[in-house]
Amino acid sequence: MTDIRDDVREGFRARFEREPHGVWSSPGRVNLIGEHTDYNEGFVFPFAIDRRTVIALAPRDDDRIRLASSFSDEVVEARLADLTGERIDGWQAYPLGVAWALGQRGADLAAVPGFDVFIDSDVPVGAGLSSSAALEGSIALALDDIWRLGLDRPTLAAVGQLAENEIVGAPTGIMDQSASLLGQQDAGVFLDCRSLDAEVIPLGLEAAGLTIAVIDTHVAHAHADGGYRARRESCEQGARLMGVASLRDLAVDDLVRAREVLDDETFRRVRHIVTENQRVLDTVRALREEGPRAIGELLDASHRSMRDDFEISVPELDLAVEVAQNEGAIGARMTGGASADPP
């Protein structure tokens, strides 16, 4: 089996007929718990996986950008001067968006060089594993190096989020990029999405004799589609009606008043976020004090909440969870963005 890093080097040579300056990579992620809480300024607990996006890149002596990948024979061309913050269609929106976003974080796009890049990845697209964040992270790391910006990883995560929000047009939170850029082996990233404080928490899976099985049900999703956007808008409406800046500011006890103030659908969306935030905190506490075997019921409860209150599951996902539980999993839940259309 060939190394993907060798593949991207060879791909770069074949497309651009020169040597790359270097190779950079960033992994996909799975969110252990904390679904749709990130854009509500809440808590999340993702971990990085062993699937990665890998790029080979070299600077140019002009402001041109050439993008190539293993997934297409097309070479996309652009110029740094053309990156104005307008939406871009297609996969090229991710690398071009990161270049633009770095300009918003201090890079002088009129002074830095353009670049050639070749992209390969073994992160499945649309499977809830953050293939987009893996691409954004690898591009951000590479450009930070060749442009000598000296930005830290939390800042690069914010760059990726800005690119996805403004250039791709997907209203995502910062969880995916943070997990991809901060994750470590056998550990999760406990992220406060309001303060952006992040703490790496050991999972302790090997010592407990446990393994996390990540199952691709082949039910695809896209964050730029309507289901995700509708859920976000519902959360924002709930916060406004409850008189808080975000749903992060509500505690479980506030749900009594929320039931009186909100219509049924908005209440259920709010209840998921509020209780999911508490489940993240309970998961971190359990890992610190008891170990991973103590978090199973929290995972099960998270799935029920996503299925019944947030309504983002589908029959294939529910079946996968049921089979896992019947076969002895200590806990199981769906992960990823909205998979269902808004009801």
Give mean pLDDT, residues 24-36: 95
Q: 291 and 188 in one domain?
A: no
Residues 6+ apart with CB under 8 A from 292: 203, 204, 205, 208, 210, 286, 330
Shared-domain flag, residues 173 and 28: yes
Alpha-carbon distance 43 to 185, whole Å?
A: 20
Q: Are strands 22-33 and 43-59 parallel, antiparallel or unpaired?
A: antiparallel
Residues 132 and 156 in one domain: yes
Confidence of residue 340 (pLDDT cuts 50, 70, 90): very low
Of the candidate ranges 147-151, 226-230, 291-295, the one whose mean pLDDT is the lowest: 226-230
Q: Cα angle at 43 between 41 and 49, to 5 degrees?
A: 120
CA distance between the termini of the chain: 45
In tens, the pLDDT along 231-255 reads 999 999 999 999 999 999 999 999 9
Q: Does the residue 19 lie in any domain? A: yes
**DSSP conformational letter for 245:** S
- 226: confidence class by pLDDT, cuts 50, 70, 90: low
Residues spanned by the domain of 220? 205-326
Does residue 237 or residue 342 have the better pLDDT? 237
**pLDDT of 1 over the 70 cut:** no
Question: Residue 64 belongs to a domain with what CATH number?
Answer: 3.30.230.10
Band of pLDDT at residue 221, cut at 50, 70 and 90: low
Q: Return the pLDDT at 343.
A: 33
Choose the catalytic residue: 38, 144, 176, 309: 176
Domain boundary pick from 165, 199, 233: 199
- Decide which of 158, 181, 199 is a domain's last residue: 199
Asked whether residue 113 falls in the same domain as residue 183, the answer is yes
- Does 280 share its domain with 235? yes
Answer whether residue 334 is part of any domain.
no
Q: Give the helix/strand (H/E) hosting 264.
A: helix 264-289
Does position 63 have pLDDT exceeding 80, yes or no? yes
| 271: number of Cβ within 10 Å | 22
Q: Kindly give the residue spans of alpha helices, DSSP state H, lying in 108-151.
A: 131-146
Q: Which residues pair with 119 in a beta bridge?
A: 55, 69
Same domain, 316 and 188: no
pLDDT of residue 341: 41
Residues 20 and 146 in one domain: yes
Q: In terms of domains, do 183 and 282 share one? A: no
Q: Mapping DSSP to helix (H, G, I), strand (E, B) and coil, where does residue 282 land?
A: helix
- Whether residue 341 lies inside any domain: the answer is no
Question: Where among 170, 199, 228 does a domain terminate?
Answer: 199
3-class DSSP assignment, residue 151: coil
pLDDT of residue 123: 87
Check whether residue 116 and residue 146 sit in a common domain. Answer: yes
Joined together, the tokens standing for residue 329 give 């999993």
Residue 31 pairs with which residues in a beta bridge? 46
Encoded tokens for 162: 């800005």
Nearest by Cα to 90 from 63, 69, 115: 69
Q: Is residue 343 part of a domain?
A: no
| Residues 256, 177 share a domain | no
Helix, strand, or coil (residue 339): coil
CATH code for the domain of 322: 3.30.70.890
pLDDT band at 342 (very low <50, low <70, confident <90, very high): very low
Query: Could you count the other beta carbons within 10 Å of the beta carbon of residue 2?
Result: 7
Nearest residue to 298 (alpha-carbon basis) of 38, 32, 41: 32
pLDDT value of position 175: 87
- On whether the CB atoms of residues 130 and 180 are closer than 8 A, the answer is yes
Residue 338 lies in a domain: no
Question: Does residue 242 form part of some domain?
Answer: yes
User: How many separate domains does the chain show?
Assistant: 2
Give per-residue burial for 34-49: e unless 16+ CB within 10 Å, then b.
bbbbbbbbbbbbbbbb
Same domain assignment for residues 158 and 222: no
Q: What confidence category does residue 227 fall into, taking pLDDT thresholds of 50, 70 and 90?
A: confident
- Say what the alpha-carbon torsion angle 142, 148, 152, 155 is, to the nearest 10 degrees: -80
Tell me which H or E stretch contains 51.
strand 43-59
| Distance between CA atoms of residues 270 and 258, nearest Å | 8
Q: Note whether 320 and 265 are same-domain residues.
A: yes
Active-site residue, 176 included: yes
Residue 340 lies in a domain: no
In a domain, 333, yes or no: no
What would the pLDDT profile of 270-318 be if each residue is shown by its tens digit? Answer: 999 999 999 999 999 999 999 999 999 999 999 999 999 999 999 999 9
